[in-house]
Amino acid sequence: MKRTQSKSSQKELRLLALILGNHNTSRIELAKMTGASVGSMTAMVRRLILNGLVVESGKGPASLGRKPVSLSLPSELGQVVGIDLGSFLTRIVVADVSSKISYKAEMATRMAEGRDAVIRRTFAAIHHAIRKLVWHEVR
């Protein structure tokens, strides 16, 4: 059975993608980008803030009136592991959702040892990176 997302969930996912792609954007800018009213955008952003998916990251410049509040995704929202498995070198990078790199490593791929050995070493390196990050957060 295929599970479908509600329309509000789909809108929130699109909104998160816009905030990620347009770092420090405001509710007004998001309303302009999406064609939504400022009121509905404010309500949607409020739900995302209450769920810990968005943070207010400062005030932007304004020529008149109240300064717009910038929005961004919290860096602790999650981590992404990137792997570049090349013929000669394997590179592993871990970054947060704002693309700040928290771990980077490079090792010889050693393809001549066979696919299974390469995969085992790569997964071991990924596990090492995760353990190192978790240990660093605990400290």
Neighbour tally for 71: CB within 10 Å: 25
User: Are residues 63 and 87 located together in one domain of the fold?
Assistant: no
Helices (H), the chain: 7-21, 27-34, 38-50, 115-138
**Mean pLDDT, residues 68-87 taken together:** 89
Q: The domain spanning residue 65 has which CATH number?
A: 1.10.10.10
One domain for residues 131 and 95: yes
Q: Which of 40-44, 56-60, 98-102 has the highest mean pLDDT?
A: 40-44
> Residue 85's domain spans which residues?
77-138
Q: Are residues 43 and 83 in the same domain?
A: no
Same domain assignment for residues 19 and 59 = yes
Q: Give the domain-ending residue among 73, 94, 120.
A: 73
CA distance 69 to 127: 39
Q: Which residues pair with 84 in a beta bridge?
A: 91
Strand order in the sheet with 101-108: 79-85, 89-96, 101-108
Find the mean pLDDT for residues 50-62.
83
* Residue 37 belongs to a domain: yes
Decide if 123 is inside a domain.
yes
Q: Are 137 and 102 in contact (CB under 8 A)?
A: no
Among residues 20, 43, 73, the one where a domain terminates is 73
Whether 60 is in a domain gets the answer yes
Cα–Cα distance for residue pair 86/83, rounded to 1 Å: 9
- Same structural domain, 95 and 130: yes
| 134 pLDDT tier (thresholds 50, 70, 90) | confident
User: Is pLDDT at 41 greater than 60 in this prediction?
Assistant: yes
Cβ proximity of 75 and 98 under 8 Å = yes
Look up residue 101 and give its two tokens: 């790199």
Query: Given a cut of 70, is residue 63 above it in pLDDT?
Result: no
Average pLDDT over residues 38-58: 92
Q: Considering the domain boundaries, does residue 44 fall inside one? A: yes
Comparison of pLDDT for 15 and 75, the residue scoring more: 15
Residues 39, 57, single domain; the answer is yes
For the cut 60, the answer to whether the pLDDT of residue 25 exceeds it is yes
Domain boundary among 73, 93, 109: 73
Instruction: Identify whether 64 is part of a domain.
Output: yes
How many structural domains comprise the chain?
2
Three-state DSSP class for residue 118: helix
